[in-house]
Amino acid sequence: MSPGIRLQKFLAEAGVASRRAAEQIILAGRVQVNGRPVRVLGTRVDPDRDTVTLAGKPVRVRRKMYVALHKPAGLVCSRRDELGRPTIYDLLPKEWQNLHSVGRLDFNTEGLLFLTNDGQFALCLTHPRYGVGKKYVATVEGCADRAILERFLRGVWHAGEKLQAQAARLISAGRMRSVVELELAEGKNREVRRLFESQGLAVKRLQRIQIGKIKLGELKPGRWRTLTETEIKTLLAEI
């Protein structure tokens, strides 16, 4: 196989269009590689050597970015909110508005959240078939005993859907309040909260503390950092 990447993928990673739309652009003859029009899907280009232009303007792949953010409670993960609530993008440099959150944390949930412009990286960390574990610490009203945690490990039904934890640990338990650590692999909508709701317990505080082997650590609420090359490889190695 020729070196490089498929031209439609190159255009998609450069932010020109989705991969399917990029195919139509190629078929229309609007793309040139090293000065020559290309209309053949599957043509491969080397981003370091080949010059790609669209309508006469150079096209360059954007540098891939991987950011870890400590999302505070009270923010949404969308770029804009129809209710006018603050978003996680208010915490980021303006030039990073093209980043997408890798999965979501709901409005009242805090903790570790990744953002990236690498679609494949995001897919690998969120699709259930890859099973990347995510750890949460939940503070709930009432007593969450070991019997409840065992039910979580076996799986419980809520709103017609089976929810299941991969691991569960009781940090503390009292009559008025309990603290539980859970590890999930599927990332269904509001899964931690729904697990406790199925047992008649309300979550008062929920924090995601780990994704794969990457921990929230000492990252302060509202602050971000870029992931290291080693951390990125570690995350992908788990898949």
Beta 110-116 vs 203-211: how paired, if at all?
parallel
Catalytic residue among 46, 50, 90, 106: 106
Q: Are 132 and 211 in contact (CB under 8 A)?
A: yes
What backbone torsions phi and psi does residue 211 show, to the nearest 5 degrees?
-130, 120
Q: Give residue 45's domain range.
A: 5-58
Q: Are 43 and 6 in contact (CB under 8 A)?
A: yes
Number of domains in the chain: 3
Residues 99 and 168 both lie in one domain = no
User: For every one of its 239 residues, what pLDDT tens digit does the chain have, with 9 covering 90 and above?
Assistant: 457 899 998 998 787 887 889 999 999 999 999 999 999 998 999 988 999 999 889 998 878 899 999 999 999 999 889 999 999 999 999 888 889 999 999 999 999 999 998 888 888 999 888 999 999 999 999 999 999 999 999 999 999 999 999 999 999 999 999 999 999 998 899 999 999 999 999 999 999 999 999 999 999 999 999 999 999 999 998 87
Residues 160 and 198 both lie in one domain = yes
Q: Please tell me the distance from the alpha carbon of residue 81 to that of residue 89, in angstroms, as a whole number.
A: 11
Task: Specify the CATH number for the domain of residue 83.
Answer: 3.30.70.580
Beta 52-54 vs 57-58: how paired, if at all?
antiparallel
Residues 140 and 183 both lie in one domain = yes
106 as an active site residue: the answer is yes
Residues 76 and 123 both lie in one domain = yes
